[in-house]
Amino acid sequence: HTAMALSCGNTIVHKPAETSPLSALAVCKLAQEAGIPEGVLNVVPGYGETAGQALCRNPKVGKITFTGDTKTGVEIMKTTSENLVPVSMELGGKSPCIVFPDADMDVAVNITQMGTFANAGQVCCASTRIFVHDSVYDEFVEKTIAATKQRKIGDNLGAEVVDQGPQQNKEQFNKVLQFLERGQEQGADLLAGGHRLNDVGNFVETTVFGNVRDDMDIARYEIFGPSMQILRFDDDVKSGDIDSVVRRANDTRYGLAAGVVTNDTNIIAKCRKQLQAGSIWVNCWNAFFVQAPFGGVKHSGFGRIGGHYTIDEYTNTKVQTQMIL
């Protein structure tokens, strides 16, 4: 977002999350070394209720863009409304991925492993709800468990290559563990993981739940951790009737991303039209391109970044009318 806003000719005041300010400060230092003039890119670390609120209330700020959780996004909108400042939001998600019977199960497992567990599940568009057709459910689950147990967890800044690092902070770590406990209490099948790893650090086992119901908390709320929820569906796919699974996939307040694993062009066309999300990924996940817009619908936010949509977000349209004398 910062690079795109700069490219449109704006000056930036960036307030990073209070738990992760160092990377933003490092980028600011690199910008100085690259020759960006002082005052063009600024970093103000601090807490949301102080530094964040001050920025949102400052009448000199012409645009607010926020990436984070939906609750904070709502508070930012309330505050910025005092000055009628335009905002764009990239917020939470509970993204569905639908695995149809014709899918290559090895491909489906690879896609969902990456889509769910990348960055220890700390991705707003993570594929945390996996809908799998009854006819291939057992095969998908068996291969998912095997792949999950192969994942290596550890310090991703160390010398050894790992697949998954820690949760970003202690509060988030505890929140993830609470969701994992709740999933077991509400009757989901714990197929892998489900607990903290070791007694040092914020490491959580890579977790897979099976036979998850739509009304379970782990299927309703954003966990933001390494937890995959697998749900069954039994639509008569051969007849083209997929209305039920699409309705269930859309039964969430979020709408950042959604995906399907299939080679059936009719199913792809129907899902592309009916799934309520800003990005629809077919036989892939986390497919980002600078030329393509990215953003969400519903409680996942609004506004699009990427391609020419960026210009609309970070500039104001101005009309000049001139009479020739």
Structure confidence at residue 71 (pLDDT) = 93
- Alpha-carbon distance of 250 to 148, in angstroms, equals 27
The single residue listed with the structure tokens 């986390």 is 286
Q: Which residues of 203-212 are buried (b: 16+ CB within 10 A; e: fewer)?
A: bbbbbbbbeb
Give the integer Cα–Cα distance in Å for 294 and 317. Answer: 21
Reply yes or no on whether 8 is catalytic. Answer: no
Q: Which amino acid is at 207?
A: T
- Count of CB atoms within 10 A of residue 308's CB? 9
90 is known as an active-site residue: yes
54 membership: H or E segment, kind and range: helix 53-57
Sign of the CA dihedral with 30 first, then 34, 36, and 38 last: positive
> Beta strand pairing status for 301-302 and 87-90?
antiparallel
> Among candidates 195, 163, 199, which has minimal Cα distance to 178?
195
Q: Can you give the pLDDT at residue 252?
A: 98
User: What is the Cα–Cα distance from 127 to 297, expressed in whole angstroms?
Assistant: 16
Closest CA relative to residue 249, chosen from 260, 240, 238: 260
What b/e string do you get for 254-263 counting C-beta neighbours within 10 Å, with b at 16 or more?
bbbbbbbbbe
| pTM attached to this predicted model | 0.94
**What is the side-by-side order of every strand in the sheet holding 301-302?**
64-67, 87-90, 301-302
Catalytic residue among 33, 38, 56, 124: 124
Reading the chain (325 residues) residue by residue, the pLDDT tens digits are 888 899 999 999 999 999 999 999 999 999 999 999 999 999 999 999 999 999 999 999 999 999 999 999 999 999 999 999 999 999 999 999 999 999 999 999 999 999 999 999 999 999 999 999 999 999 999 999 999 999 999 998 888 999 999 999 999 999 999 999 999 999 999 999 999 998 889 999 999 999 999 999 999 999 999 999 999 999 999 888 999 999 999 999 999 999 999 999 999 999 999 999 999 999 999 999 989 999 999 999 999 999 889 999 999 999 999 999 9
Q: How do 129-133 and 227-233 pair as beta strands?
A: parallel
**Catalytic pick among 90, 205, 222, 313:** 90
H or E segment to which residue 228 belongs = strand 227-233
Strand-pair partners of 163: none
Gap between the terminal Cα atoms of the chain: 44
| Contact of 54 with 45, CB cutoff 8 Å | no
CA distances in angstroms from 271 to 130, 249, 268, 276, listed in the order given: 15, 10, 5, 9
